[in-house]
Copies of this chain bind each other. A is one copy, B any other.
Amino acid sequence: MTFNNSDPVSVMFAGIEMDGIYINRSGEHAIVKLSSGYNICVPESFCSPKEKTAPAEKPVVSPLKQDASLPLLSIISTGGTIASTVDYRTGAVSSKFTAEDILRSIPELAGIARYHTLQPFQVLSENMNPAMWQELARTIHDEILKGAQGIIVTHGTDTMLYSAAAVSFMLNTPVPIVFVGAQRSADRPSSDNAMNAICSAKAAVSDLGEVVVCMHATESDTTCALHRATRVRKNHTSRRDAFQSIGREPVGGIGYPDGTVVLANDAVLRGTEELRLSDNLASNCGLIQYYPGMNPAVIDAFKGYKGLVIAGTGLGHVGTDCIKSITGLTTSGTTVVMTSQCQAGSVCDRVYETGRDLLDAGVIEGGSMLPEVALVKLMWVLGNATRKEDIKRLMQTNLKGELAYDLWRYA
């Protein structure tokens, strides 16, 4: 039996019969979108054909209402699961939902603010890149100039932390810039897209004045956390509360559905920073994690790069036989920054011999910066400074909360 894309099928699995739509083959397995919204991957022999029914009608949408008395927000849609919807033809999830579609599908948003919607580009977040970060920062800058009192960026969760950190370094902002995504697409019963979007709007009209990531704080639907853009990680592939603040508490939380906003004592408040865009980036930077037995040639391969971030072991170490290659990079003009593959804590290359050798090799200690944030910051610093001492000073200055702990160190 051969099935075609979008054929209605009946799947027998573990003694249960389920209806669904055939999507395609993967090896010897069929991928079927079940009527519950979940995809299932089963041997094709588990499937049997069903009569085609008339395609489901698209729900009727009401015209967009905007309340002129409410604050103005911009919703900038870049793609990703939060902007996803089911393709009624194939049953597959596509991410072609526009910001306006989001507004229409979540009527609660209309009670919080009025909105200007834009889609500068639509990509799966693994295809984001430094040029798109720049375009995003410029777009946000222009929206704030035009009067937006808060910004919501809908983004795929895979690389949201890189983009949020990049915008954080490129923009000083007087208003909240809230990145929001979803871990489960809108067609799934456990989708987190509506609650996250509503909480992001509450955050965007709040007293906050910095770049944050707004996602489920726990597995239940009671709170979203606001994570500082430079101290957040996606720590789980699929959980709705995957995003966690690292080395600090979240800078805020939004109760749901009541919308109460709680901000941390050290949250940056609305109006603290003046709007300023500095969008130069030296995108020719790399990131590697050290592992035992690493061939030093892996480091040599970054010759010619402007910068390289190493996620070393523990306090910031690599095997001794890699140090010569690092010296090779620094003497040929590559800025090398040491971070740790340990999730939290701080690099200190003054305690052990290996660390001191690394400092002699010209490595800059990255303190408590997350390796991926150090990468983004290095692109920004190398795009804005050229003198060695300025580069080092900027990398070790807490510009946007990326250094979670006091820089003064006790070995």
Contact = CB atoms under 8 A, between A and B. Distances in A.
A237 interface: yes
Contact of A350 (B31, B294, B345): B31
Q: List the number of copies, as a whole number.
A: 2
A126 B354 contact: yes
A351 B38 CA distance: 10
Given A124-B353, A126-B317, A287-B289, A342 B31 contact: no
A411 B126 contact: no
Contacts of A283: 293
A383 interface: no
A151 to B, nearest CB: 20
A106 interface: no
B124 A352 contact: yes
Contacts of A353: 124
Interface stretch (A127-135, A221-229, A328-336): A127-135
A401 interface: no
A237 B293 contact: no
A342 B287 CA distance: 16
Contacts of A375: 291
Interface centre among A125, A159, A242, A320 (most CB of B within 10 A): A159
Contacts of A260: none
B345 A26 contact: no
What 3 pairs between A and B have smallest CB-CB spacing?
A237-B345, A39-B411, A158-B313
26 contacts: A26-B356, A38-B411, A39-B351, A40-B411, A41-B409, A124-B354, A126-B312, A126-B317, A126-B319, A127-B320, A127-B354, A128-B292, A130-B293, A233-B342, A235-B342, A235-B344, A236-B342, A237-B315, A237-B346, A238-B315, A238-B346, A239-B344, A242-B345, A284-B295, A286-B298, A289-B289
